């Protein structure tokens, strides 16, 4: 099969197996198939990654996608590109998409949102350190270096008062100075009450305090 014009009226397909053919371009042929859950396109001649993934944009229920054995998989950003722009896919090229891969894709293709997520007090740290440049042929946002007025350098610990001109600087500083939460627990049965302290009739024991830090 080299042409997919025969699929124009098949709106309700949920599974489509087009593997092992001679497809070189699927632009305009599949975008109307919004109910697809499984799409197999492996072992074809698809060369353009961006155009191929764009064709799948409307498939919000797509969960299984095979693109291996196509020239487009040679693109260095292939795996993370598909994961980011087709977030509904859970099984890509017969491999389960992991949460770590989704986080890496977010950091690569939506750096601003990634910085915001990392700035949340109880959020997990990103795998890629802030302030480093991510090598990508499609990442148009280079790593930012925080620029602060020298006169306000002493206010680093209180970033809310620093007059940043660029909002991204505020986000970056917030991510670098994440909030720290501390919880402590004490066995109150071993703590003397006010009356017992006055009467001194309870043996003093060292207080065992358990402290947990969340960053």
Q: Which CATH number fits domain 5-115: 3.80.10.10, 3.40.50.2300, 3.40.50.10860, 3.30.420.40?
A: 3.80.10.10
Q: Is 62 exposed, middle or buried (0-12, 13-18, 19+ CB in 10 A)?
A: buried
pLDDT at 140: 44
Q: pLDDT (tens digit, 9 = 90+) per residue, 183-196?
A: 777 777 777 777 77
* pLDDT interval class at 118 (50, 70, 90): low
- Range of 77-81, 100-104, 203-207 with top mean pLDDT: 77-81
Q: Domain limits of the chain?
A: 5-115, 177-214
* pLDDT interval class at 164 (50, 70, 90): low
Q: Quick one: how far is CA 154 from the chain centroid?
A: 33
Mean pLDDT across 82-94: 93
**Torsions phi, psi of 20, nearest 5?**
60, 50
* pLDDT interval class at 116 (50, 70, 90): low
Q: Which H or E element spans position 181?
A: strand 181-186
Asked if 55 contacts 29 with a C-beta cutoff of 8 angstroms, the reply is yes
Tell me which of 210 and 3 has the higher pLDDT.
3
pLDDT at 15: 94
Asked if 62 contacts 53 with a C-beta cutoff of 8 angstroms, the reply is no
Quick one: the chain helix, strand, coil %, rounded to 5? 35, 10, 55
* pLDDT interval class at 4 (50, 70, 90): confident
pLDDT at 133: 43
pTM score: 0.54
Distance between CA atoms of 128 and 131, rounded to whole angstroms?
Answer: 9
Mean pLDDT across 33-53: 93
Q: Is 97 exposed, middle or buried (0-12, 13-18, 19+ CB in 10 A)?
A: buried
Torsion, CA 103, CA 111, CA 168, CA 159, rounded to 10: 20
Contacts of residue 180, defined as CB under 8 A and 6 or more positions apart, other chains included, come to 213, 214, 215
The residue among 88, 90, 39, 89 whose CA lies nearest residue 67 is 39
């Amino acid at each position: 099969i080299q042409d997919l014009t025969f699929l124009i009226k098949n709106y309700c397909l949920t599974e489509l197996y087009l593997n092992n053919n001679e497809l070189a371009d699927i632009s305009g042929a599949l975008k109307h198939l919004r109910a697809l859950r499984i799409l197999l396109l492996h072992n074809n001649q698809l060369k353009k990654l961006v155009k191929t993934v764009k064709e799948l944009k409307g498939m919000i229920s797509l969960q299984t996608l095979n693109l291996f054995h196509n020239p487009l998989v040679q693109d260095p950003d292939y795996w993370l590109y598909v994961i980011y722009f087709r977030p509904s896919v859970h099984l890509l090229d017969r491999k389960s998409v992991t949460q770590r891969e989704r986080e890496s894709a977010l950091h690569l293709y939506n750096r601003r949102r990634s910085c915001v997520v990392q700035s949340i007090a109880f959020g997990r740290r990103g795998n890629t350190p802030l302030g480093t440049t991510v090598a990508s042929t499609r990442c148009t946002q280079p790593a930012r270096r925080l620029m602060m007025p020298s006169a306000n350098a002493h206010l680093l610990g209180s970033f809310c008062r620093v007059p940043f001109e660029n909002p991204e600087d505020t986000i970056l500083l917030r991510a670098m100075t994440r909030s720290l939460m501390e919880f402590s627990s004490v066995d109150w049965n071993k703590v003397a009450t006010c009356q017992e302290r006055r009467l001194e009739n309870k043996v003093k024991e060292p207080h065992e305090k358990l402290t947990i830090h969340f960053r």
